[in-house]
Copies of this chain bind each other. A is one copy, B any other.
């Protein structure tokens, strides 16, 4: 069985990543979501091993020391990270694993696991991005400005991604994402084994 692909999805805040990935997992059976480990306490209804793996600060720092995380970051006093064991287990069983993280984390993952597929999701235009952030209603004008400023900074890292997905229409974008990932399984770099096999067979005929 072919090994799964680790797919990292990033995108501007307001690009609709959350909805996109929810719909991808609903619509197609091929994917597992990576589950992050965190030191933040579980919220009501959250379950260890489903939303997150919940760990203490000490446990998390042991994971760091043991190099058991593909990447990790601190955010508002808590650690968040991607446990390598869970990802490896899913990939080994042939499932593609989807991991949603921001640009800096994504580039670290790619450095560590070179055959990671990096997808960047963007709304069709900056105007559309601003509109979506404002529509949420939960954002103050200042926080919209600060998110846009951040998007602006992040823009430099985007060119390191493998694919750019424009989220104009949700269903279209979900299908494109699915086909991009499935096509990646046919990349020559991922199929050196099959080529060597058929060449050996030809020699034996």
Contacts and interface: CB of A to CB of B under 8 A. Distances in A.
B152 A165 contact: no
Given A122-B195, A163-B187, A166-B194, 13 more contacts: A122-B194, A122-B198, A125-B198, A126-B205, A130-B205, A152-B199, A155-B198, A159-B188, A159-B195, A164-B186, A164-B191, A176-B183, A179-B179
Contacts of A199: 152, 155
A201 B120 contact: no
Interface of A: 120, 122, 125-127, 129-130, 148, 151-152, 155, 158-166, 176, 179-180, 182-184, 186-188, 191-192, 194-195, 198-199, 201-205
B163 A186 contact: yes
A125 B191 contact: no
Contacts of A188: 120, 158-164
A195 B151 contact: no
Contact of A125 (B160, B165, B201): B201
A83 B155 CA distance: 39
A201 B194 CA distance: 45
A163 B122 CA distance: 26
